[in-house]
Structure 1
Amino acid sequence: MPLVRRKKVVLHDVPEFVASEPATAASARDVFYIAQTGEIFPDYEAFSTRMSFYNMKIFQCELTGKSGLDYWQALESERSEAQTLHSRFPAELKAPILAAVQWQIMGRLDHLVDMVYDRFVNRYYAGEKVFVDVDGEKYFGRITKVFPPKNLTNGTSQPSNTPLDPHVIGVDLRIPAEDALARDDPMAYFYAVQLVEDSTALSVDSKPPGTNTSESEKWSSSEMETKASSLSRDRLSFSKSILRRFIRDCVERDAAVASPWTVKRIIAEQHGVATEMPDDIRRAIDGAKAGEKEKRKKVWEDKFEAEGIPSKRRKKEEPVADSEANTPAPAASDVKPKPKGPIKYPIEDLDVTITDREKKAGRKVMRPPISREVPFGEAFERFLMSWAFFQSFGAVLKISTFTLDEFESAIRHTNPDIPCTLLAETHSCLLTVAKERTGVRYTAIESLEAEEMDLDDSAHGVSLADIAHEAKGLGYKSQLATGSSSKDSTRSTWEDTLAIYLRDHATPQAVPNLRRIMQGLMFEPSLSSSTSKRKFAPSTPAERYPYLLSEDKIAIFSFLCEICIASRVVRAHIDWGDASLTELRKEKIEVNREKRRLTDEIAQIDAKIDPEGEGSKVDAGQNKETVSEKPASTVDMSSPAPGPLSEEDELESKQNGNLSDATDDVPASGRRKRPSVLRRVSSKLSIDSPNNKVASHTKDRAQARIKAAELKSAIAERRKLDEELNKVERRLEAIEREFRQLFGVGRTRHMGRDRFFNRYWWLDGMGIGQLITSNGSASYGTGRIFVQGPSVFDLEVISARGEGVVEARQREEDGPDGSLAPGAWGMYSEPQEIEELLTWFNGKGIRENQLKNFITKWLDHLMAGVKRRQALCAAALESSASAAQISEPEAASRPERRSTRGKGTSTSVYDSSREPYLAWTNRHQQQNGR
């Protein structure tokens, strides 16, 4: 079965109505059928979705490991490989090997293959084609008889004629290898081999060096007896790799703990392998499963005990006396309920309750209010996903990153006199990629004509015939300005190209309000002076696009993104992202290994610097050497002086004074040891004789000088390792950021869900987005956390817990604004709100535990982006407010000072061209010289 992300593709079951309804002409209904898989679908949408899935280049052949195939290619590759494999593999070995692996409990398939290979490599069966070594020459032969050792023939020298009797003990994997070898030695067997003339029966490519074909023909039809040491198999028919592929194709295993490998039923029946599990094997497997579960349980219990969490213990049942065994059972009312053990968290979020003790401790019960003021209302989801598409695939679209606020302002831009580079570049990049799809001319017009049931066009103002006439007259007046860097040239062409693309590709199902959009792009409303009735006059898309409704602009963006997602360059970028993620995972493993190595070396150096671990041990009177000990010249002066110092001693004293500076970096625990060390040295000097004092003083100086040098070297090495460790940790942080960038390429993923199944989205740092700029400052894309209401399926899960149960809890914990409806969106844009949200999450629940851990992991970057956005928004509001402070009297008091050259640039009017979204430039355009 082909694989997808290392998991087998699961086929759809037969629909219930097909299985339940009788196959009669009266009950017959149209269904969609995939002949290659046997799947049945009730409607075309499900059939088309499944076929699109099968046609994606994401599948992998289970036998060969080839990837990047569609389902049909992977299936064909498996079939051809299986046919080749089964034709090459010795037929005489299939039944014994399959019988040996049946119901074996082994964690990894590789270990099972190694065990089978070791048992069968020197064991041969009647009918096998082998090479025979006779005096250093290789001959072709076929085994005709197998003679087991005499100890396996029940005291007789007659071999058994039963095919599976030979090697019956040696190939039993339930018998230990040493025991099987001692009881059934493969080298003790004799084999009757008949040399064959037809050397083509064996693979020519696999003939070993020294194979004598002419001599084989000379000795053809002759028989000889030999041992296993003189026999060998064709390496193209039996080797570890071929054996692994054969076993992997013939066996399967459940996902449960300690599940045995079982031969597929159809293959087992073909080779006569038992399919009904014997009772003794079943009991052994059940015992292995129970042992594995108990082992895992013990690991968790040990972990809980180490962390101080009480674990669940089974009470030992006392044996019941015979006299008590016959006593009647007590009444149900007299039976005391068994006390419940401690709950193992995390559990289902809706099962977690906040106790009164937690409320008194300050746990937040009510979630912080969610702001419902998301941009564009019901169109916000399409707006957000369109922006996320630009962030994910900006590299192939050749467009630079921009914030969600800039994208919102660009969509709200309605001034035709001020060109918006952001709108021009986003549409141009999308149209450049989307033009790979070949469309049918006038698709939009034909679909609109097919949907329009009424002929009354008064509600629209323009008849459909006029729209069709203007749309069919549109032509490619100019190409996308890919070879010119002029903004005016780019802007003067993309609107026309957009209108033509919508005409030839859009449908009312793909683009909501398609008729209103086409009418808005090609007709301009005008007011008739005679009738005061609004009329429409033909216009151009370049003049009319700024006046489109914001939701219509978002619908166009969403349609173009849906077209581009299926393009060749976008699919290739997704494949590149998956491959890059694999490389990042490998690099992360290596960096973590390097981090562990550095940590171990630092621990070893710390042990040299502070061998006792804690300074309190020295204070307790333990007589141990310390590396923080200073030269003896610093000993308490109250002790008797050792005598006058020579010039050499004075020089040593100066050197020791310099070396003592190196001990300033010793940890505080080492410095705390010094008083007790001095007391020990002082007491020792006070009881020594004058002659011993001088010798001891000189010896202490030498030891202190050596230890100070060692300490200085260790501290320098510690600093070097600290620097390397900091570099490794910075690389790990960079890998995490790169991983987040690539992880959002194939699919935009939410952070997690809360107890009421609300989804939380934070899209910063994904795709071409950056969390940190090149100069190290914080960057952001959205600067907010968005909250999406539960889906319809989630509401069904909630309602299944009982009517009104969850609703009452939502009223208590969701706050005064209530819960989000399906499809509704909210957001958190203040740092304080996000901190309160984190305290509201309950880590005892599975979903909120994962969500809280995710947010905590990225909290620094998230908060930095939120604060950065707040600062920029505050600066923009202050700038716009200061520009509007000039009052009308002030402007009227100095009309004579105005110059005719400055009429259009008065400082009293706010300059909207300085808005951030209008100052945005596409760096890819500048680099490519477009």
Structure 2
Amino acid sequence: MVLFKRKPVRYLPHPYIDDQECDVWVISESNEVFVSYDAYLERMDFFKSKRFTCEVTGRSGLTYFDALRSELAGSKEIDEAFPQALREPVLRRVQFSTTSRIDNLVEEVFNEFKNDFYPGELVTVILDDSSRLNGRVRDKAKFAEIRGIDGGILRNAFSRYFVRLIDRPDEEALVDDQHIVRDRKIFTKQMLRSFIKNAVTREGWIGAPWLVKPEIAERFRIDTNVPPHLQHSTKVAAKKAEKRNSNVEQQDGMFGIWQPNKFPELKPAPKARKGHSHQHPHPERTLDPAAQAYHNFYHQNTPYVPPPMPDPGLLPRSWGHMQPPPQPPSDYPPYYANYLPPNQLAPNGHYYPPPVQPPAPQPVPLKQEVVVEIPPPPPSIKYPIEDLDVEPVRDGTHRPALKFVTKELYSDETLTKDAIPGLKGENIGLLLETWNTLNVYCQVLKLDSFTFDDFVDAMQFSSMEVDCELFVEVHCAILKQLVNSEADNEGAIQISLPDLPDSDEEEEEESEEEESKAPTPTPEPEYPAKRTRSSLNKVKFAEPEPEPVEEEVETVPHRAAEMFGEYDWISRLRKRDFKNGGWELVMVGLFHQLSGRPRLTDLCNKLLAHLAPLDAEPTIETARIQYSTMDINLRAEALQIICQLFLETKTVKDFLEDMSNTMTQYRKAKIEHQRARKEALARLKELQVERKLLAPEPEKSPSPVPELEEAMEVEHAGEGDVSIPDSEDEEPVVTRSLRRGTDRAAERKRKREEEQERKEKAAEAKQTKGSKEYQKVLKQIEKEREKVQAAEDAIIVVDSDLREADCPRTRVLGKDRFCNRYWWFERNAMPYGGLPDSSTADAGYANGRLWVQGPDDMEREGFIEISKQERDGYYRRFQMTPAERKSLEEGPTSLVNAKQWGFYDTAEDLDMLIGWLEGRGVRESKLQKELALQRDLIIKHMEKRAEYLLPREKSEEPPARMSTRTKTYVSDKSHRCLRWRNTTAVAEQGYRHVEPPPKPRPRGKKNQYVVEEKITSSAQSVLNKQGKPVTRQGTRYNF
């Protein structure tokens, strides 16, 4: 913007042209149009005078055209040199700033941004060995400060940056604020000053805010609506009100009483110019209000100054913004009608357009107090508020990148190391739900707890020779809860089952019955009782009724019904016949019967189409083979169905009721412990007061050591014996000494010792009486402290028991601003590291990940996908829509719906997430508080998981001896799920779930069972009297 006398040049408006054929003259640099050649020449002479200043470079003494070229060149240079990544944040920082001097503003902005970096910026990374590498900031994360319980700062806030190294394209550096710098030539105060001067403007009144130019603000979506408290009208109104209030206070004060009376102030009449007479022919004539307004307009003290014109590039092609002078009334003196001041002529030679007749003003009373209403300042926002109403933080940070278990959610295929092969996105929730259900109710199912990683590995494991014990035991344990055994309530069914679908035999019987029925003759048309020619024609030409269309019978895409005869799946389940494909066949029968439920028909048919295909024989071996070849998606859906059925059983309801009663007892115990702690603290407070009263008086400062005083006295006593020689040659002169000097010093020492001993005995006699009571109080204080500590330890134990007994629902940690849910499944209903006596308890974790679920459909439609009117209003406030804000603040890893899941598994990601959350929002303040409370536990189990998943060394592998003659051996190094054993079932019932229950021995042998074993080889091993296989040593005594 070219300056003239330190102010922007005011451009002339476009003239109103009636005749389209007339000639015009244009100055293209200023976009000004003239219809008068003289006015054009006058304006050109003005522009060619060397009185203009370039605002960017500050050079003065230039013509308008030279200054404009200098500004364009300087702006282009600044635009190329200033970092692109810093432009938007710097402009947002400067917008509406009220710092008056630009030097102070530049200093403030420079200090704020010199140690802050933004994505996309070129920086230099300083490695630990002091080497420097150039790179570009890819991502930025802020870490909030952590405060202790006492309020002290445990860790200051800091930022971390992911920098892609230019010289090493495949590597990235993760650095903090201390190991990253930018080039000194890129971000300097001089360059910052030039950029700010080129991009912002400011009005001339005191206290005016800096404003980003409209075209630049529109490019960076910066709000240009000046807040009310920064507007000029508000400032003027406030000053007027302040002045009026001060005048009222002076008039109401005591000082006005003593002011002397003064004559009214008289002013001399203005002198008239020579040759001009301002006397009116009707001096006593009273003018009406319209004439008075017209008279005041042309006879005001200051000449009329036209309003400032806007930038020529933004000028409208109309005269609507111009304000013409008022017209004289009809009864005004006629010689005023043709009078027009010279300054009312447009500079480009045109008069104003035909004016519009203003409405007659209303008569204003002489004394009327004008009340100026001052707009109140904007009310202070009381946080927390709705999360999406919080002002976005535009510093380049976004939520830390999520990790996914499905490849379809990754935008970069090189980052798919955590993806589960073949898993669909909508089945992640099924796996998490099923794993959580099995671990929460592991006591009811008699299962060892297991990690989520082992569970996923078991769901993927497929082998025809080797069975995964975790996979088999889970299915058998759930199936046993659906139907009781024969010995338990005669095998009662614990769930409601629909009727079986119509079998083929029933269809054949129905078809035979239909064939046996006599054919129904075609009915003749019925004639009306009163027959006329028209009625007979209607009956004759009536259209025949359409024959009922037989519904097409859908063909069943499986052969599940053919797999069962008299020995159905319920009978097999009652007998616990699970081995050699038995439990797989039970699953087929269960799905076949559940297909009668309309909600599960399609899903069950899809599962049965794989388990009992049309091109395979309907045998138990087919069911076993087909189940072993199922992919993880079908397995997850099948397991989720039987888990839902398990939750409907009476066993689960009784377990939840018992847990509810247990939690009630825990709460009562916690109240008792809290009461005991409160009583102990009150007693401890009383004992502390008593201890202070019985405490011995502090001893006085000890007197000087007698030995030192004696040495000083002896030294002073012997000073007269020998004189100090003045030189080395002079011998000391022996003088006369005092008699008995040493004896008097010894006497004083003896008296001093006796006095000290007497004082010590008196103090000891005084304290002997209270010392026993004091020691007694100290012992009581120690006991009360032990009681307080014991109560607090008990409360901690009860809280842990309450958390583990809270089984009815899995509690979510919270939601963020975009309604994403955050889950830590170890939070309730299970131990943090799984059951301590589990076969995989050495893993030390259960899930080990913080899971993030996308927003629900209703929440997405209410918060993100809003109506056009709400979207436009939101855009006016924040220059972005909620959907754009979600995309910007979540980064490349965004979740769209509730079927999509992501996770965090490192401490750095968790800290970055806590720092990203905004504490001023309702939802995120709760989530941030909960994450900060559980942070240490979450990080601990994340580290346990990372340690468990590391490849084991050969020295760490336990030695194992197993026979591989009849069974294929699969190492548990590649499949960790094979390490799991169901020790809980073996300890409680003596056998695994897949094994049939042992038959009791004959009478006389109590609590002993005979386990039936199938002979796998032709040669039967020899058993001794105890039923054990004979060893070499046993053969010696087997006669």
Q: TM-score range by the shorter chain?
A: 0.3 to 0.5
Normalising by structure 1, what TM-score?
0.47
Relative contact order higher in (CA < 8 Å, ≥ 6 apart): 2
Specify which structure has the higher proportion of helix: 1
Normalising by structure 2, what TM-score?
0.43
Q: Which has the larger radius of gyration?
A: 2
